[in-house]
DNA sequence: GAAAAATATGGTCAAATGACTACGTTTTTT
DNA sequence: AAAAAACGTAGTCATTTGACCATATTTTTC
């Protein structure tokens, strides 16, 4: 499983062979079935996780049981609850598999070691953080200002591949609209 | 103006006198009047800015002219458009003063120098980034899942001080609801 | 392969929301 | 101090949205 991960790393920066092996050696592989949880609300996020294959979702739940999805993490992305991981405090969100997935996990202490040892990893990590910030800002702006139809169109435009792999109810939970509204939009677009 | 800034820095980490002076020496002070822009959509965000006094808002505008506020930056916080600043590309949001404000600004190249020179500043900066991520995640979750009244109550609970300084229309623009809905909620809460 | 679960759609109805407008009050500007 | 701008509230009305429910279809599970 680490081979795919190593080629991902290679494609992002010029890691040498020993760095690659060193990073991989501390990873713990895991297979997740549909709806298996990587992290449950209230638990402490002890690992940084790379998705080798499949897709996870990060979501919050409300008292009535409804899900609200913060982001999807498909293959070749990283995932964690940053707040819980950084401070090692209980998480307020969940991470679960959307589909059969393979992941690699590093404990915080191991990953911190790697960051200190390997400057290239540190800088990659900073890039990813900066992308995550930007991503969540864009999403906030969209949540605040876009109409349901705009959100849906933006999602199709930006993530056509995910679109095909996700059930509509998750897309609705991601866009912050009801499933009913989503099917209405789709219906309207068919007849235009 | 730099004295307040230096005591802010002191309160967050044990900077020595020469570091403080070094950091301050590269800052450019600026006074902003109400509605003065620090950054306009399309411009490149060339500075990292610390708010000494007053309050700024970071917001996007839509084609119809409506404003949607991503966050408020009161005194003793930092502000910038991270994407535009990091990559030095045109910004997609605006930053303007809510009230009379005093700020300190560093160019990216100067600040990068400081980060490299002063490890303590680097680690403070990482802390702030992590807080910003967490903040924007919480906000996204709230935007996706909370009702207008919940959003309003959360805002009063979390930011009672800002509440008093902001006109309602900005609070509405921040919560992603119409001014009408906001006054309705306030009206309902009065009669309960 | 059969049973069970999840999915996508749509009808109906009540409630929530926003656009427009108006008006009296407060704040800011000059 | 006077004029102008911004502010907070509220009435009305059309539209959007969600809750609840039913159903046909597809996918998953065992």
Which nucleotide's C1' is closest to B34 (Cα)? C28
Give the number of other Cβ atoms within 10 Å of residue A11's Cβ.
8
Asked whether residue B101 falls in the same domain as residue B7, the answer is yes
CATH number at residue B72: 2.60.120.10
Whether A139 is in a domain gets the answer: no
Whether B26 is in a domain gets the answer: yes
With 90 as the cut, is the pLDDT of residue B63 above it?
A: no
Mean of per-residue pLDDT scores for chain B: 95
d(CA A118, CA B117): 20
> What is residue A91's three-state secondary structure?
coil
Read off the pLDDT of each residue in B17-22 and give the average, rounded to a whole number: 95
A101-119: pLDDT as tens digits: 999 999 999 999 999 999 9
Q: Which segments within chain A are labelled E, that is strand?
A: 28-32, 37-39, 47-61, 67-74, 78-79, 94-107
Asked whether residue A117 falls in the same domain as residue A162, the answer is no
Q: Kindly indicate the confidence band of residue A34, based on its pLDDT and cuts at 50, 70 and 90.
A: very high
Q: Kindly indicate the confidence band of residue B176, based on its pLDDT and cuts at 50, 70 and 90.
A: very high
Sign of the C-alpha dihedral, residues B3, B7, B39, B84? positive
Chain B residue with CA closest to A62: the answer is B145
Asked whether residue A151 falls in the same domain as residue A125, the answer is no
Asked whether residue A92 falls in the same domain as residue A59, the answer is yes
Chain B residue with CA closest to A60: the answer is B141
Q: Is B14 on the interface with A (CB under 8 A)?
A: no
d(CA A105, CA A116): 18
Q: Is the distance from CB of B78 to CB of B49 less than 8 angstroms?
A: yes
Asked whether residue A29 falls in the same domain as residue A124, the answer is yes
Q: Kindly indicate the confidence band of residue B84, based on its pLDDT and cuts at 50, 70 and 90.
A: very high
Asked whether residue A96 falls in the same domain as residue A190, the answer is no
With 90 as the cut, is the pLDDT of residue A56 above it?
A: yes
Asked whether residue A170 falls in the same domain as residue A115, the answer is no
Whether A137 is in a domain gets the answer: no
Cα–Cα–Cα angle for A45, A50, A54, nearest 5°? 110
Q: Is A147 on the interface with B (CB under 8 A)?
A: no
Residues 91-150 of B with CB within 7 A of strand C: 147-149
Asked whether residue B40 falls in the same domain as residue B78, the answer is yes
- What is the structure's pLDDT at A1? 76
- The partner residue sitting opposite A130, judged by closest CB among B86, B137, B144, is B86
Asked whether residue B23 falls in the same domain as residue B106, the answer is yes
Asked whether residue A9 falls in the same domain as residue A93, the answer is yes
Asked whether residue A53 falls in the same domain as residue A86, the answer is yes
- Which residue range(s) make up the domain with A115? 2-132
Q: Is B150 on the interface with A (CB under 8 A)?
A: no
Asked whether residue A123 falls in the same domain as residue A180, the answer is no
Read off the pLDDT of each residue in A181-192 and give the average, rounded to a whole number: 92
- What is the structure's pLDDT at B64? 86
d(CA B120, CA B126): 10
Q: How many domains does the structure of chain B reveal? A: 2
């Amino acid at each position: 499983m680490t081979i795919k991960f190593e080629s991902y790393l290679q494609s992002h920066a010029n890691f040498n062979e020993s760095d690659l092996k060193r990073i991989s050696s501390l990873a713990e592989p895991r297979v997740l079935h549909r709806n298996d949880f990587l992290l449950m609300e209230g638990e402490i996020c002890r690992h940084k996780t790379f998705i080798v294959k499949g897709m996870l979702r990060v979501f919050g739940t409300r008292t009535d049981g409804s899900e609200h999805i913060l982001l999807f993490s498909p293959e070749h992305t990283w995932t964690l609850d940053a707040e819980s991981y950084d401070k090692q405090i209980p998480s307020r969100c969940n991470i679960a598999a959307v589909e059969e997935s393979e992941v690699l996990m590093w404990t915080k202490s191991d990953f911190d070691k790697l960051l200190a040892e390997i400057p290239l990893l540190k800088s990659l990590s900073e890039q990813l953080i900066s992308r995550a910030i930007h991503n969540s800002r864009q999403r906030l702006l969209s949540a605040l200002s876009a109409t349901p139809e705009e959100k849906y169109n933006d999602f199709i435009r930006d993530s056509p591949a995910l679109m095909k792999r996700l059930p509509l109810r998750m897309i609705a939970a991601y866009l912050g609209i009801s499933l009913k509204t989503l099917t209405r939009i789709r219906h309207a677009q068919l007849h235009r």
